[in-house]
Amino acid sequence: MPVLKIVTLGCKVNQYESEYAREGLRRLGYIELTETKEVFANENDELADGVWRASAKESPDLILVNTCTVTAGSEAKCRKLIRRLAKEHPQAEIVVMGCYAARAAEEVRGLPNVGEVIADKRELPDFLSRRGLHEVPDGISAFAGRHRAWIKVQDGCGQRCSYCIVPLVRPHLSSRPIHEVLAEIRRITAAGFAEIVLTGIHLGHYGLEQNDSNVNLVRLMRSVLEIDGSFRIRLSSIEAPEVTKELLDLTAERPDRICPHFHVPMQSGSDRILRLMRRRQSSSQFVERCLAIRERLDLPALTTDAIVGFPGETEADFAETCATAEKAGFSKIHVFRFSPRQGTPAAEMPNRVPQRIYQDWATNLGRLGERLQSDYFRQLEGKTLQTLVEDVRTCAASNEVRGSADRFMTVAFSGGAELEGKLIGVKIVAAEGNLLRGTA
């Protein structure tokens, strides 16, 4: 049987789309050996995807590379990866998909051993059909190597922030029908997955293009909650204005099923920079929304993205970003250095910030994020957190397991392999850096 290798870089939507392609290719008879794990980092040096790699004794016939274009560094990693794979597996055909393939299809076609480029994710079913699959999947039924599953419910973004390339490579707003999403989640939860992460390019705009008030994110979530099973729901990144009262009320109603965690991108805390970025709200409006979340929910986790070094940013602007982050009280800040993307307005803006300055800002904002995280972790001591046990091997010698809490941090506690994949209530005892320790 032909051997398959899939490598994914980038966001949760990319990971879902890789899983969709994996499911279709397996139906065609491809096998994917799962002996070692290869990890790729994103621009923030954090886990982008764990990729199961074929045994050294095997050689793939087909390599599918799912690419990212969010920064220039992301594209450079993609090119380096493709060249390395071509060198390691000269006999394999390389198929490239993803946002880098959408942005620069001809450039990608010129890379070694690339036999096909899928420039539009909507072409995935056609790609599988051309390979001989008569019944293409209408979704996924598993998520390789994980205990949680990302479910893509929405695609496309029309927000047009001045720095962002994504609306140029994913311009078409589309939302999956609720019945299709529910059927997929039923398959996933029946297979034992205990966490469902609803994701999209602009998740809060689920249903927007349909002009139907009955098709929206909250309606979708209520429908998911009607599915039987012991699983919880988490939302991926969502813009702060889209964390509505209705969404907060639903989250407060079902703390057993909906994770009290919102990833709300701030990007900057300076109103002047926010206007240059073409963001939709002021810093005070952003803080007000964060405070509304805190008032409605019990110690919710708020995580965010922030860009430093945007063209024209000053020390005063950066100080405002730090002050806004303090007021919001984030549990984690993902710090990104500005990356000019050809074709976006920000790439043509004057007054670039020198590298030595924005590197210092990134370091200082990272330290602030660590302090805010420590402050938040201390508030969780004595609280019982619903934890999905994911790692029973790393600390097996000490009879310790680790998992992800509902508030999106790693929790370690005593336990055995029989807990893997289960949701466990863990009382938090103490914090150790990025880790919480507790007892079940």
pLDDT, residue 34, reads: 55
Interval 299-317: pLDDT, tens: 999 999 999 999 999 999 9
- CA 228, chain centre distance (Å): 26
Average pLDDT over residues 85-108: 95
More confident residue, 362 or 396: 362
Residues 218 and 198 sit within 8 Å (Cβ to Cβ): no
Percent of the chain past pLDDT 70, that is, above it, reads 93
Interval 267-294: pLDDT, tens: 999 999 999 999 999 999 999 999 999 9
pLDDT, residue 46, reads: 38
The C-alpha atoms of residue 410 and residue 380 are separated, in whole angstroms, by: 13
**Residue 86 to residues 60, 68, 92, 307: CA-CA distances in angstroms?**
11, 18, 7, 34
Burial class (CB in 10 A: 0-12, 13-18, 19+), 259: buried
pLDDT, residue 57, reads: 55
pLDDT, residue 397, reads: 63
pLDDT, residue 395, reads: 67
For 108, the enclosing helix (H) or strand (E) is helix 105-109
- CA 37, chain centre distance (Å): 19
Q: Is the pLDDT of residue 131 over 80?
A: yes
- Give the pairing type, strands 148-155 and 62-67: unpaired
The C-alpha atoms of residue 283 and residue 316 are separated, in whole angstroms, by: 14
Average pLDDT over residues 69-97: 94
pLDDT, residue 1, reads: 85
**Residue 191 to residues 42, 230, 257, 433: CA-CA distances in angstroms?**
29, 12, 18, 34
Q: Is the pLDDT of residue 84 over 50?
A: yes
For 364, the enclosing helix (H) or strand (E) is helix 355-380
Average pLDDT over residues 13-40: 80
Other CB atoms closer than 10 Å to residue 145's CB: what's the count?
11
Q: What is the pTM of this model?
A: 0.91
Residues 7 and 66 sit within 8 Å (Cβ to Cβ): yes
Helix 315-328 and helix 355-380, axial crossing angle in degrees, nearest 10: 10
pLDDT, residue 33, reads: 63
